[in-house]
Amino acid sequence: MVRQNIDVTPPKATIVLITDAALYANPDDFEHAVDVAASAAVGAVRAGQSVSLWTTGGLRLSANGSPEESMLFLDRLAGVTLLADRAREGLAGTLERLEHAERGGVLIAVGGHPQPAEFGTLTRIAGRFGLAALTRISAPENQRSGTARAAAGLSIIDAPTAAEICDRWERLAQAAARGSVR
């Protein structure tokens, strides 16, 4: 007799929106970052995935794939602002908590330009996920050519607009699904 076990756990996505003002070269880039986080969250919810969205300011949202949850994400993200001080959790604290969260699925860190120590922690955490990316709004002169580049298991997507980041993320995710990433 042979038993085949099927994993019925829905795929999951963890999205971290960086809200630390000190990590943005241009405050206008934050609006693009919010758009990317919203697109990633709503896309994952619509795909029936379990989604956790964290901001470095302490907001935590979760969804299990119902359509009503998409509106909750959009409503809550509409009120998110940059935090001028790091009195709250900040990126370092958020990454510390994320390090102890569940493994697996997809990790998308959105916005900002982490400091070297934070970048190192994010790179280490990336190994806990099937696919991990840091998406950043950058001026064209600060970008490297190509869709994305990798740093020890963490894909880095730099683009000047939210739409371009979402397009590059989609291509990266499709490549990962085909097994041509990593």
- In this predicted model, what pLDDT tens digit does every residue of 66-125 receive, in sequence order? 778 888 899 999 999 998 865 567 898 999 888 888 788 999 999 989 989 899 999 999
Radius of gyration (Cα) for the chain, nearest Å?
Answer: 16
In this prediction, residue 109 carries a pLDDT of 96
The number of distinct structural domains making up the chain is: 1
- In this predicted model, what pLDDT tens digit does every residue of 146-167 receive, in sequence order? 445 666 789 999 999 999 999 9
Q: E-assigned strands of 131-180?
A: 131-137, 149-151, 154-159
> What is the pairing mode between strands 12-17 and 60-63?
unpaired
The answer to whether residue 63 is domain-embedded is yes
In this prediction, residue 1 carries a pLDDT of 67
Residue 63: count of CB within 10 angstroms of its CB: 21
The answer to whether residue 6 is domain-embedded is no
Lowest-pLDDT choice from 1-5, 122-126, 143-147, 172-176: 143-147
Q: Angle at CA 75, nearest 5°, toward 111 and 98?
A: 45
- In this predicted model, what pLDDT tens digit does every residue of 22-31 receive, in sequence order? 999 888 899 9
The answer to whether residue 1 is domain-embedded is no
Name which residue leads in pLDDT, 180 or 157.
Answer: 157
The answer to whether residue 2 is domain-embedded is no
Q: Which helix (H) or strand (E) holds 108?
A: strand 106-110
118-149 residues labelled b (16+ CB within 10 A) or e (exposed): bbebbbebbebbebbbbbbbbeeeeeeeeebe
Structural domain containing residue 128: 12-178
Q: E-assigned strands of 34-91?
A: 50-55, 60-63
In this prediction, residue 4 carries a pLDDT of 61
Q: Cα 78 to chain center, whole Å?
A: 17
Residue 145 DSSP class: S
Give pTM, 2 decimals: 0.87
In this prediction, residue 82 carries a pLDDT of 93
Tokens standing for 114?
Answer: 């982490």
In this prediction, residue 147 carries a pLDDT of 45
Q: How far apart are the first and last CA of the chain?
A: 37
- In this predicted model, what pLDDT tens digit does every residue of 22-81 receive, in sequence order? 999 888 899 999 999 999 999 998 888 899 999 999 999 999 877 788 888 999 999 999
In this prediction, residue 178 carries a pLDDT of 84
The answer to whether residue 3 is domain-embedded is no
In this prediction, residue 145 carries a pLDDT of 41
Tokens standing for 150?
Answer: 């990798």
Q: What is the CATH number of the domain that holds 135?
A: 3.40.50.410
